[in-house]
Amino acid sequence: MKRKFLVVCAVLLCFVFLAPGVSVAAPEHTLRLAQVHPVGSDFDLRAREFAEKIYERTGGRFQINVFSGGILGDWTESFEMLSRGSLEMNMGPANSNFDPKLILGHYFPYLVTSLEEAREFFSYGGWAYNIIRDLWAEHNIKALSVIPVGMAGASMNRLPENYAVPGESTGMRIRVMPIRACELTFNALGFISTPIPFAEAYSAMQTGIVEGQMGGPPFQGYQFRDVNSVWVQYNDYFESWWLSMHLGLWNTLSPEDQEIFMTAAAEVSETQWERSAYVDEHWRTVLREEYGWQIVTLTQEQLDAIAEHVRYTVWPYMEEFIGTELMDRVFEESGIPRPASMQR
């Protein structure tokens, strides 16, 4: 009886491993996807959702291992690795250190003034998506979809005068990202711009070198909750991260697999677009209710006036950075009128 039982078990095991539709083979392709946000963050979750979709829809042929928290390098290193092909996939921003034109996908002030505009322009098929996708391709990177981070602003230790009057001095020193476009923009907003790396921004405020900082959406303000007390939602730029793949690898995929990757990328992008406004409002609420911050949200009329001023004063320099041909394409496809300062 015992022998008969063992035979039956052996037959059942053979059936399980040989049955149609049951696969125990290792994946044909194992890819690494890097992103620098912490495990458990929205970006970690979107990366893992994407990996799961790909695994399921390719029948396990593609396995994507997600490396969050900057394990494989910071966002600048990840961009370089992806461009070289030493990294298969990445979720991060464009790196204008490699090409000044990529500033269009990193920090281009007042290209949009609201999250609604950003969603229209940066979603798949939007004019900004199309232009930036082409720029990534010049660096051997296939841009799949935008993973929105949010609309940027600035945190400060007090609310200065003229904070919403373009061209008028606020008399406040503010830390800006070490990017010339950021410096020019906040000078135009009336601040005394001081380029400081993010890692040194907190101590710069503690020691009084600066009185505020810019460079991201409200979550970045939260990181300065103990040294600042005011958040101004300037919407000076839309922070976009991109789900991307090395172009050489992309070109080896079949059309069917390319469609699977593009569809999955569009789906996780849509999920984050739906969350973006909530995430920004969540952190503004935390700062206001838990830390007593003053939250200043500019009206659309104020934003339009600031955008007009920045486009007039800063965009001529942006044309120097990205070139006339690309700037012409921005004006043509965005419908934004060329300011008088840039008329030919």
Q: With left for phi above 0 and alpha for psi between -120 and 50, is residue 59 left, alpha or beta?
A: left
CA proximity to 232, closest of 328, 161, 130: 161
* pLDDT at res. 56: 98
Q: How far is CA 318 from CA 24, 112, 182, 187, 313, in A?
A: 54, 15, 11, 15, 10
pLDDT at 190: 97
Q: Taking a C-beta distance cutoff of 8 angstroms, is the pair 186, 174 a contact?
A: yes
Report the distance separating Cα 155 and Cα 233, nearest Å.
Answer: 9
Residue 174, pLDDT score: 98
Backbone angles phi, psi at 89, to 5 degrees: -140, 160
Cα–Cα dist 240/111, whole Å? 12
Q: How far apart (Å, rounded) are the C-alpha atoms in residues 107 and 254?
A: 34
Q: Residue 70, SS3?
A: coil
d(CA 79, CA 74): 9
pLDDT of residue 95: 87
CA 139/CA 248 separation, integer angstroms: 11
Rounded Cα distance, 6 and 43, in Å: 49
- Class level of CATH domain 153-237+289-335: alpha beta
Q: Which of 66, 49, 270, 253 is nearest to 142 (CA)?
A: 253
Cα-Cα-Cα-Cα torsion 40, 42, 46, 48, nearest 10 degrees, comes to 0
What b/e string do you get for 310-323 counting C-beta neighbours within 10 Å, with b at 16 or more? bbbbbbeebbebbe
Which residue in this structure is represented by tokens 């793949």? 245
Q: What is the pLDDT of residue 12?
A: 44
Q: Give residue 97's pLDDT.
A: 81
**In the chain, what are the domain boundaries?**
153-237+289-335
For strands 141-151 and 238-246, give the pairing.
antiparallel
Q: How many other CB atoms sit within 10 Å of the CB of residue 255?
A: 7
Q: What gap in Å lies between CA 106 and CA 238, rounded to an integer?
A: 8
260 close to 57: Cβ distance less than 8 angstroms: yes
Paired tokens of 158: 């007090």
| Cα–Cα distance for residue pair 152/301, rounded to 1 Å | 17
At 10 the pLDDT is: 45
Q: Is the torsion defined by CA of 154, 158, 159, 161 positive or negative? A: negative
Query: What predicted TM-score, i.e. pTM, was given to this entire model?
Result: 0.88
Q: Which residues of the chain have pLDDT under 50?
A: 1-23
Residue 70's CB is within 10 A of a number of other CB atoms, namely 16
d(CA 88, CA 78): 10
Strands (E), the chain: 29-34, 62-67, 89-92, 141-151, 153-156, 173-176, 192-195, 212-216, 230-233, 238-246, 294-297
Closest alpha carbon to 323 in 148, 169, 40, 103: 103
Q: What is the pLDDT of residues 111-155, one digit of tens each?
A: 999 999 999 999 999 999 999 999 999 999 999 999 999 999 999
User: What is the torsional sign of CA 332, 327, 177, 209?
Assistant: negative
Kindly state the tokens that stand for 106: 């990193």
Residue type at 164? A
